[in-house]
Amino acid sequence: MSNTYSVKIAVIGSGSWGTAIAGVLSGKGQDTVLWGHNKEHLAVLARERENKKYLPGFLFPGTLQVESDLKKAVEGAAVVCMVVPSHGYRSVFEQLAPHLAKNCFVVSAVKGIENSSLMTMTQVMRETLKDDIKTKNITLSVLSGPSFAKEVGMGLPTLVTIGCDELDKAKKLQKIFGSERFRVYAARDMIGLEISAALKNIVAIASGISDGLGYGLNSRAALITRGLAEITRMGVKMGADIATFSGLSGLGDLVLTCTGDLSRNRTVGLKLGEGKKLPQILDEMEMVAEGVKTTKSVHDLVQRMGVEMPILDQVYQILYEDKDCSTAVKDLLTRELKVE
């Protein structure tokens, strides 16, 4: 991977975020391929050169190709960027793994934790690849940070982080992905990036619930602050660097997702706070709100690891036990008093 950036990149997942990433890469002149699971949808993308369903208003750069064959999309790619929701991640990755090129980079840009295994996405990939990681010299990495797809598509300044176990490799990806309006920082703390990215969605649901109940800005600020404390506790317990949680993937993404009108997870919380039921909310949404599934995963992780996460616990009870939102807030506020 030289400074000319002349490599093939496969973006796996044609939702809003996958389309935005593909747009950034192909906009730099990169040889970029966008794959999605729905062949009919991909045919429309190829014909219209725009993703009107998930990211309308942004025409595809000329170098962006659309490919419905997963094997063709991945073969020969120096970088494969996975942008598939966590519940379908393993299935898609198992299909493409045999076709990964030697010495390639696989980047997870997904903010979730698998329900069945309680694994992060890089852990899922590592388990799937087994010995191929070494024999084919495949590098796993994570892309995370405060980045609404619509704003990335608009070319608004966005800052993210790419993490690899080896910093030199993260710096290579930094050059591949980075542009004037898409600034990329390099890091080594992959587990910290994944945990902060996944768990902030739960706090965003809580923030939305608070806003939907009309509880004001004081409550939102408190939820963000105490939510960050919970995320940090879990991350450190799992071996993350505490500094990660004050960075772009931690505090940065948390603030964005808890306050931004484009946040799907905050939207779920808003509607819950306004009195709607979860099945109805999810039926009305075109795109996945990862925080709903992640709440269950993290609830199970808490039981396994013994980490205190009271906000997570109340969100879980609202989502999966139909607890009244006002009662959940009251139970949070009337807990035993603590020292910060």
Please give the pLDDT value at position 5: 54
Residue showing tokens 């024999």: 135
Same domain (yes/no): 214, 144: no
Please give the pLDDT value at position 339: 87
Domain CATH code at residue 249: 1.10.1040.10
Q: Tell me which residue range forms the domain holding 205.
A: 194-333
249 domain-assigned: yes
Residue stretches of the chain with pLDDT short of 70: 1-6
Domain CATH code at residue 48: 3.40.50.720
20 domain-assigned: yes
339 domain-assigned: no
Please give the pLDDT value at position 1: 40
Which pTM value belongs to this model? 0.94
Q: What Cα–Cα distance (Å) separates residue 207 from each residue in 59, 115, 260, 266?
A: 34, 23, 11, 6
Please give the pLDDT value at position 340: 86
DSSP secondary-structure letter at 47? H
- Of all residues in the chain, the percent with pLDDT exceeding 90 is 94
Sequence-distant (6+) residues with CB within 8 A of 146 are: 158, 159, 160, 248, 252, 253, 255, 256, 257
**Boundary residue ending a domain (188, 209, 233):** 188
121 domain-assigned: yes
Handedness of CA 88, 290, 35, 129 (dihedral sign): negative
Does 134 qualify as catalytic in the annotation? Answer: no
Same domain (yes/no): 46, 61: yes
Same domain (yes/no): 115, 175: yes
For residues 137-150, one letter each, b for 16 or more C-beta atoms within 10 angstroms of the residue's C-beta and e for the rest, the string is ebbbbbbbbbbbbb
101 domain-assigned: yes
Return the CA Rg of the chain: 20
Task: Tell me if 125 sits within 8 A of 106, measured CB to CB.
Answer: yes
1 domain-assigned: no
Same domain (yes/no): 162, 220: no
**Boundary residue ending a domain (172, 188, 204):** 188
Please give the pLDDT value at position 287: 79
Same domain (yes/no): 170, 305: no
Active-site position among 8, 28, 169, 200: 200
What does the CA dihedral 316, 317, 323, 324 come to, rounded to 10 degrees? -50
- Domains in the chain, number: 2
**Boundary residue ending a domain (188, 208, 242):** 188
Same domain (yes/no): 224, 106: no
